[in-house]
A and B are shown apart, each in its own frame.
Chain A
Amino acid sequence: MHGESIYRKPLILGDKTYHQITEDICAPIEGRANKLWYLVFTMAAIAALWGVGCISYLIGNGIGTWGLNRTVNWAWDITNFVWWVGIGHAGTLISAVLLLFRQRWRMAVNRSAEAMTIFAVVCAGLFPLMHMGRIWVGYWTLPLPNQFGSLWVNFNSPLLWDVFAISTYFSVSLGFWYTGLIPDFAMVRDRQSVKWMRNIYKITSFGWSGTAKQWQRFEEVSLVLAGMSTPLVLSVHTIVSFDFATSVIPGWHTTIFPPYFVAGAIFSGFAMVLTLLLVMRKVLKLEDYITIGHVESMNKVIITTGSIVGVAYITELFVAWYSGVMYEQYAFLNRATGPYLWAYWIMMGCNVISPQVFWIKWARTNLIFTFFMSLVINVGMWFERFVIIVTSLHRDYLPSSWTMFYPTWVDVGIFVGTLGIFFTLFLLFSRTFPVIAAAELKSILKISGEGQKREFAAHGGFEHGHGHDDHGHAHHTSEGGHHE
């Protein structure tokens, strides 16, 4: 067992024992939900049902029920798609990239962030499906063998790469998430007294018994999946950005898009993680695990990625001017001053200006303010995609074809519906799944638990811990300790 400098802030507050962690994390599953949960759940479920109704109406009647037109052929559909995919990125970043950077604070948040990823990708995936005019032949986007021999898919099309990117992303994220859940499901199973519930957890934990061999395999699989996830953080939104970057439409045809989209995705993903976790830690009483320190760390990620996004926006403007291409110049002038200027300035305000307040420590550590900011950023990032898609399309090359886009109730209904689906799933998750990766967390309890640190200090623990600490952890990089 290795200690950590007592000067480092503990990641787990309070005097926790392994058992206490188990108790805390299992409490929401084993206890009864309060009225607030039911209220929120009902609202989310109604929204989800409404969304399902709107989707059925859309599929039953045609894409014309949306507000699209001959010039603006994508609007809320792809805006929502990119928004949801972007939100998903935080989960993968936390579970894979922060793992590589050995950021232990991720352990308290990665489970729910990954869950958020899965649910966001589910919502995201709905949009490319239902935006198809003929969803019933949507499987043609898969390179399936068919009786026409040479008739296959078009590997030139970024939309096809989207299919691969999103499906890969979804399956790898799901696999990674689920693998991590297995020991925790076993933990829940072993505590369950209700037979049918125990049976369910028995199935979901795949017969986990905690043998050394199982732990070893578990670690290997986790490592492989982490390795696969890491490039996905970069690739998925890069490919999504290709939908635009490879086109010829001014405002879309931009080489800056891949890094800019990835940064934007992480930016919005962390905002959504904060939105969810700030509520969750309170409701599920997980303040000891998801601490102000976590929030501050995430806010630092937000200000970093937010600034990258801001630089990207300004670079776009610069390049438009510098290129000398009149179409490009007009596209950006039109964004900032045309009929959709309100969307542009909402985007600028929410994504570029507002995150800069996180340079102030108070802002980073104030929970209510952070919550407010996370909503602002989510709104801003939605508008970013709206601005890119709609304002580029609505006035492209030939002024004769210039139009405006007005959403219909179906556009709005489906977006609200996916919010409903997302929150329904997340609320169900929060009551049936171990929302914190208990097994992982336990691996750092002795290192970074507040109580343990205090004890360690009392026993005159090493005071120049830094160097030693890092050194001591070199062989401890895998998915965490596991032994109770």
Chain B
Amino acid sequence: MPLLILSLRNHMSNQKVYWKGLEELHETPDFVQSRDNEFVEPLPMEEFLGKEDLGQTKTGRRDFLKFLGFSVTAAAVAACETPITKALPYVVKPENITPGVPNYYASTFFDDDDFANILVKTREGRPVLIEGANPETKEVRAGISAKVSASVLGLYDNKRLKDALKAGQPVAWTTADKEIGDKLAAIATAGKKTVVLTSTIISPSTKKAIADFQTKFTNVEHITHDVVSYSALPKANAAVFGKAVIPTYRFDKALAIASFGADFLGTWLDHNSYEGQFSVNRNPKKEMSRVFAFEAVMSLTGANADYRSAIKQSQIAHALIALYNKLSGANLAAANTPAEANIAKCAEYLKSKKGSALVVCGLNDVNAQIITAEINKLLGAEGSTIDFSTPLYTKQGDEAKVEQLFKDIASGTVEGLILYNANPVYNHPNAEKIKAAIAKMKLTVSFASCLDETAEVSGYVLPDHHYLESWNDYNPYAGHYAISQPTIHPLFNTRQAQESFLVWAGLGVRSDKNSTVYREYMKQVWNTSLFGKQSKYLTFDDFWNYSVHDGAFTSTSTEAVAAPSTGVATLPNLNDAAAKINATYKAGSGVEVVLYQKLGIGTGNQANNPWLQEFPDPISRVTWDNYVTMSLADMNELGLETIYGQERPANVVKVTVNGKTIELPAVASPGQANGTVGIAIGYGRKFGKGDELVGKNAYPLLTSVEGESRTYAFGASIEKTGEMYAIASTQTSHTMMGRDIVKETSLGQFKTNPLSGNHKHTFHTSITKLKNGKETHGHLSADEADFWKKFDRPNHNWGMSIDLNACTGCGSCVIACHAENNVPVVGKDEIRRVRDMHWLRIDRYYTSDTSNQMIDDAKGLSANLSIYNKAEVPSDNPQVVFQPIMCQHCSQAPCETVCPVLATTHSNEGLNQMTYNRCIGTRYCANNCPYKVRRFNWFKYHDNEKFDFYMNDDLGKMVLNPDVTVRSRGVMEKCSMCVQRIQYGKLEAKKENRRPIDGEIKTACQTACSSNAIIFGDYNDETSLVHSLRGEERSYALLEEVGTEPNVFYHVKVRNVDEAYYHGHEASHAGGEHGDAHGEAGHGDAHGEAKTEGHGAAH
């Protein structure tokens, strides 16, 4: 009501004018003078200043009391509370936003490499976290990679362009549109071509927008460029299966998998889906898949393989032929490889799993892919593990057209170039030529949202929205249509690229940054072309709303396969293919260069994301750089330093191939094939913050053979330069030193004895009767040998189970943890000083040639000395294990007892809590933590020029999770098991007057894990998954012999190998019965286990 009166009053006052007298009405000169003079009488300033007693300090009693009163009040008011800045309450509260309660929106991520259905968590209108899509929604595939997780930070990148640019200067959108329109018309009139160069577009609406643009300007051609090309795959499939598509690979149906240089768990094709699928068949209690890997550079797939052969890149195709020969009995010509034994084993196994076997090859070489396809055909993979009915559309690049384009630019037939998600000046091997050609063109437009190498030389830069600000749709594989919706208003004066096409095509007018032109267009597209593909919803509005809500919809009608399909195999001549392979992959001289992608940086389009730069490479654990990976033998031959550390820099080597050189530090990589080097692409960006411009650009080393872009080059030479280069790595010791850290067993042993590989530590004791009345025979297990008082867990007892068999080490949990818990980025130099702040880390261990058995058997001082020195050195082709480590939330936590001020305490729900406010920073807790999971704030990491990452600017800070404190300098921090999520879940349950349901509360790491390796829950809830997992035979507590009684449990890794294990990671030693014996007590007394911390039974 008062509002109404106010508005009435305003309304009236606008119409009527009141005056105070006739003078005002007539504006007499007197009145005007007095009105303009604010003070009718002049202020007695002169008089005041001229006062003689002004300089005197005498203060009257009343004045004194006044001053006193004022200063006391002022001081008291000022001392009350630090003023809060920049907190604006809602004047009108938006309907859907409740402060403190997150909203989730279904959306989609696609960056021409990763495709993921996602959930975006927003708080008070700003996206703060990306989670994998809800797996219960059948419409979507779950699973996100580190890159997808980290993409939310890109939204708040202060380097994003805030306006359209013309020749580097801000320009109005209308001006830019008009000028570009004129130029487009001029080019058309001149009979020249304009080319839209994009990365793969899987958006039906975007494609239609470009098509509409082409209708307006018929001289426009659309060319697709994939940075890493898969063009050989559809060609080979066309030849062998008659289907020129990339099929959907069903790793969830594969029980025998062979990978020839295809890192399907890490970076190959649709790896986001593959990882989750792969984990389905890695449960040792069901039928477990077996993986063979043949590769040159240790990849995530190789690290997870049961059998891995390190062979040169040039031998991969030969190995394929050898496998084909073994399977088919044919006798195609091929060179011998060192992997013959494993190939034979692989062939045998694949045969035995016919119908559920799958072979994948990572070479972009049509001949190699033909052999692969033939092998798959032999194995009956088509229709079972290879699904041609739902082809994958995420790679549609056409190298020939791109090559032609650059020729056309040079010859002058193409005068206009519009770049969407394309940065050829950076990521094309002929970057320099392209750069020069672009400069001469009439019109160049880049939609880059941050300045990049190509945008820099483009005439116009029309920054695109971030995907979290945009509408878009995606058709990643046949039948699946995903939607991304804006989760925040556009932050800057940007415009969606699609809208630009529509505006130029005359199909819309941009109002402002919130313009809805493309959304309306997209709805139209959905209405006309997709609404009919379903029968669930009767009205389009329902269809649209539910699709947006679910983030995706699956077509029920049969999809016409978009790519050309002859349906008839051309039956390639395999002898020809083999002959070509033999010609291409000769045992030439020189070193072979393999260009691989890192899981965090990928192709480099998020290279300025500090989370990803600080994300350790899963294999090397190195951050902030790319480098040359080499085998130990090769490094020794060149006289290179094989060990790096804080003050032990690596040698810089110069790799020369095809007349191009690159200088990078050399890093020893066990498992690297001798004679090959690996170099990650995606580094060496020129735009971004200073600290984020790391590494060297390896794209110039890409080769092109017969129109196929390839990520390897042969005949390289490598030489040591005199320089040294500091490497920042989070792990510098690489082996387990004979310790039972990651426990392992083989499938065979596991089948006969599920406790194999999980031997419990026992302690010799004279106690014969325990408190609980149980009799012992001189041996106590670690959990019984305990004299501590147990804590009560009356309500909940939170815990976590981590399946080391399911974990692939991909690290998406690490980034999810960063985002959820505001884990600061500390920069390369601090990482080099081993000060990473990661609450959750993934330890990677290589096996060494020294087995646990050998360490146990070593007698005498000198034998022990030499065995430990040997144990530090990884094998040439080691087995690899990954172990995610976060705070173990010990029930008897060593950190808690040593804190002098009770800053770290135990909750009655089993959590080890950290009270930042109370912490005085003695770091004693971190010293006393056997797991070394505590992280200290060595500096103030936010608002600090020295740490000029996202926490140093107001925009970047918008990504911070408001539920989690940003820690100050000098306090300790660590994994809280996402206590804020637990609390939220408990409150939600309480509101509904029930207990939390198992699976309802998830930690951030759990939500990011595609392979369900991390399970969180309540041990007190006997129906919970963690409760049952904890009771499983494979479950063990890390370092249980220390007596910390963790609430995090690990599950023994089971390798599907024939060889037996000696309670550890060595394939080559000892028999099964030896390992099994360790499940029982009552042996090994002779070795002095009389101490409470006996390593005991190991002897």
Given A64-B938, A70-B926, A327-B1093, A400 contacting B885 (CB threshold 8 A)? yes
Say if the beta carbon of B586 comes within 8 Å of chain A.
no
The listed residue (A247, A327, A398, A406) touching B843 by CB distance below 8 A is A398
**A68 at the binding interface (Cβ < 8 Å):** yes
Within B82-133, the residues touching A (CB, 8 Å) are none
Report B895-935 CB contacts with A as 1/0, cut-off 8 Å. Answer: 00111111000000000000000111111101110111011
Instruction: Determine if A215 is an interface residue (Cβ-Cβ < 8 Å).
Output: no
Whether B510 is near chain A, meaning CB under 8 Å from some CB there, is: no
* Complex interface residues of chain A between 290 and 330 (CB less than 8 A to chain B): 322-330
Complex Cα distance, B646 from A71, in Å, reads: 13
Within 8 Å CB of A199, what residues of B? none
- Residues of B in contact, count (CB < 8 Å): 76
At the interface with chain B, which of A129-137, A259-267, A357-365, A424-432? A129-137
Q: Is B864 an interface residue (CB 8 A)?
A: yes
Q: Are B865 and A337 in contact (CB under 8 A)?
A: yes
Quick check: is B1096 within 8 A (CB to CB) of the other chain? yes
Contact of B923 among A133, A325, A328 (CB under 8 A): A133
Interface segment, one of A22-30, A83-91, A156-164, A435-443: A156-164
Contact, CB under 8 Å: A153 / B971: no
Contact indicator B938/A333 (Cβ below 8 Å): no
B508 in contact (CB, < 8 A): no
Report the bound CA distance from A73 to B972 in whole Å: 11
Known: A69-B833, A132-B970, A325-B1093. A138 touches B920 (CB 8 A): yes
Contact A133 B898 (CB under 8 A): no
0/1 interface trace, chain B 831-854, chain A, CB 8 Å (1 if under):
001111000010111000000000
Residues of chain A lying within 8 A (CB to CB) of residue B918: 140, 151
Q: Which of B833, B869, B1089, B1094 has the most CB of A within 10 A?
A: B833
What's the least CB distance linking B739 to chain A, in Å? 7
**Shortest beta-carbon distance from B80 to chain A in Å:** 16
Known contacts: A69-B834, A157-B898, A399-B733. The answer to whether A326 contacts B739 by CB under 8 A is: yes
* CA–CA, A61 and B938, complex, Å: 9
Q: Which residues of B contact A62 (CB under 8 A)?
A: 937-940, 969-970
How many whole Å from B1017's CB to the nearest CB in chain A?
Answer: 25
Interface string of A328-351 (1 = CB under 8 A from B): 111001100100000000000000
Q: Is the CB of B898 within 8 A of A73?
A: no
Residues 424-469 of B at the A interface (beta carbon under 8 Å): none
Determine the distance from Cα of A246 to Cα of B936 in the docked complex, in whole angstroms: 22
Judge if B983 is at the interface, Cβ distance under 8 Å.
no
Nearest residue in A to B925 (C-beta to C-beta)?
A: A73
Would you call A402 and B868 a contact (CB within 8 A)?
no
Among the listed A152, A247, A325, which residue makes an inter-chain contact with B928, where contact means beta carbons less than 8 Å apart? Answer: A247
Give the contacting residue for A399; candidates B739, B869, B927; CB below 8 A: B739
In the assembled complex, how far is the CB of residue A209 from the closest CB belonging to chain B, in whole angstroms? 46
CB of A153 within 8 A of CB of B902, answer yes
State A325–B1042 Cα separation when bound (angstroms).
11
Given A70-B834, A159-B900, A324-B1088 in contact, is the A249-B920 Cβ separation under 8 Å? no
Measured CB to CB, the closest approach of chain B to A408, in angstroms, equals 9
Contacting A at CB under 8 A, from B1057-1099, are 1087-1091, 1093-1096, 1098-1099
Contacts of B970 in A (CB 8 A): 62-63, 132-134
Tell yes or no: A248 within 8 A of B by CB: yes
A70 contact from B919, B936, B1039, B1093, Cβ within 8 A = B936
A134 touches B885 (CB 8 A): no
Complex-state Cα separation, A398 to B898, whole angstroms: 20
B900–A399 touching, CB < 8 Å:
no
Q: Are A400 and B900 in contact (CB under 8 A)?
A: no
Which residues of A are found within 8 Å of B938, using beta-carbon distances? Answer: 62-64, 68
Do A326 and B1098 have beta carbons less than 8 Å apart? Answer: yes
Q: Are A325 and B1095 in contact (CB under 8 A)?
A: yes
Is A366 close to B, CB under 8 A?
no
Specify which of A152, A247, A393 is in contact with B902 (CB 8 Å cutoff).
Answer: A152
Task: Specify which of B900, B920, B931 lies most central, judged by the most chain A CB atoms within 10 Å of its CB.
Answer: B900
**In the complex, what residues of A have CB within 8 A of residue B939's CB?**
61-62, 64
Interface residue? B693 (CB, 8 A)? no
* Residue from the list B732, B868, B930, B1090 in contact with A397, Cβ < 8 A: B930
Residues in B neighbouring A403, C-beta threshold 8 A: 645-646, 732, 834
Contact assessment for A73 and B1042 in the assembled complex, using a CB-CB cutoff below 8 Å:
no
- List residues of chain A with CB within 8 A of the CB of B969: 62, 133-134
In the assembled complex, how far is the CB of residue B1064 from the closest CB belonging to chain A, in whole angstroms? 13
- Is the CB–CB distance between B919 and A134 below 8 Å? yes
Distance A322 CA – B1089 CA, assembled complex (angstroms): 9
Tell me whether B735 is interfacial, beta carbon within 8 Å: yes
Report how far A141 CA is from B918 CA in the complex, Å: 10
What CA separation (Å) do A70 and B938 show in the bound complex? Answer: 9
Nearest A residue (CB) for B1098: A326
B688 at the interface (CB under 8 A from A): no
Q: Are B927 and A393 in contact (CB under 8 A)?
A: yes
Contacts of A132 in B (CB 8 A): 920-922, 970
Query: Does B900 contact A153, Cβ atoms closer than 8 Å?
Result: yes
Residues of B within 8 A of A151 (CB): 902, 918
Q: Does A67 contact B (CB under 8 A)?
A: yes
Residues in A neighbouring B830, C-beta threshold 8 A: 64
* Bound-complex Cα distance A68 to B1088 (A): 36
Q: Are B919 and A133 in contact (CB under 8 A)?
A: yes
B47 interface residue per 8 A CB criterion: no
Contact, CB under 8 Å: A325 / B1091: yes
Contact of A63 with B936 at beta-carbon distance under 8 Å, contacts A157-B900, A158-B898 already known = yes
Closest-CB distance, A57 to chain B (whole angstroms): 12
Bound-state CA distance A138–B897 (Å) is: 18
| Interface flag for B254 (CB, 8 Å) | no
Contact residues in B for A135 (Cβ distance below 8 Å): 920
Least distance between A262 CB and chain B CB atoms (Å) = 22
Cross-interface CB contact of A134 among B736, B833, B921, cutoff 8 Å: B921
- Shortest B716–chain A CB gap in Å is 33
Residue numbers in A under 8 Å from B927 (CB-CB): 73-74, 247, 249, 393
**Does B707 lie at the interface of the complex (its beta carbon under 8 Å from any beta carbon of A)?**
no
Q: Is the CB of B921 within 8 A of A402?
A: no
Query: At the interface, yes or no: A401 with Cβ under 8 Å from chain B?
Result: yes
- In the complex, what's the smallest C-beta–C-beta distance from A80 to chain B, in angstroms? 15
Q: For residue A64, which residues in chain B have a CB less than 8 angstroms away from its CB?
A: 830, 835, 938-939
A160 and B845 alpha carbons, distance in the complex (Å): 38
Partner of A324, one of B735, B894, B972, B1099: B1099
What's the Cα separation between A323 and B1090 when bound, in Å? 7
Q: Are B1091 and A323 in contact (CB under 8 A)?
A: yes
Q: When chains A and B are docked, how far (Å) is the Cα of A69 from the Cα of B732?
A: 13
Is A404 in contact with chain B by the CB < 8 A criterion?
yes
A389 to B: closest C-beta gap in Å: 9
- Minimum Cβ distance to chain B for residue A382 (Å): 19
Contact of A137 with B920 in the complex, beta carbons under 8 Å: yes
B1095–A333 CB distance below 8 A: no
Which one of B919, B932, B1088 lies within 8 Å of A71 (CB-CB)? B932
Of B645, B737, B833, B1088, the contact of A323 (CB 8 Å cutoff): B1088
Chain B residues, CB < 8 A from A216: none
- Counting CB contacts under 8 A, is A154 at the interface? yes
Q: How far is the CA of A78 from the CA of B834 in the complex (A)?
A: 20
Interchain CB contact (< 8 A) of A141 among B894, B920, B928, B936: B920
Q: Does B637 contact A (CB under 8 A)?
A: no
List B contacts of A153 (CB < 8 A): 900-902
Asked if A154 contacts B900 (CB within 8 A), the reply is yes
Judge whether A411 is part of the interface by a CB distance below 8 angstroms.
no
B741 at the interface (CB under 8 A from A): yes
Q: Point out the residues of chain B lying under 8 angstroms from A326, CB to CB.
A: 738-739, 855, 1095, 1098
Q: A-B pairs with the 9 shortest C-beta distances?
A: A133-B921, A133-B970, A64-B938, A400-B843, A401-B932, A73-B923, A69-B834, A134-B970, A402-B733
Q: Report 10 cross-chain contacts, Cβ distance below 8 Å, ordered by A residue.
A: A70-B926, A70-B934, A73-B924, A140-B920, A154-B897, A159-B924, A248-B894, A393-B927, A397-B739, A400-B733
Given contacts A73-B924, A141-B900, A323-B1094, 9 further A-B contacts (CB under 8 A): A62-B939, A74-B927, A134-B919, A141-B920, A157-B898, A157-B924, A327-B1093, A397-B1039, A398-B931
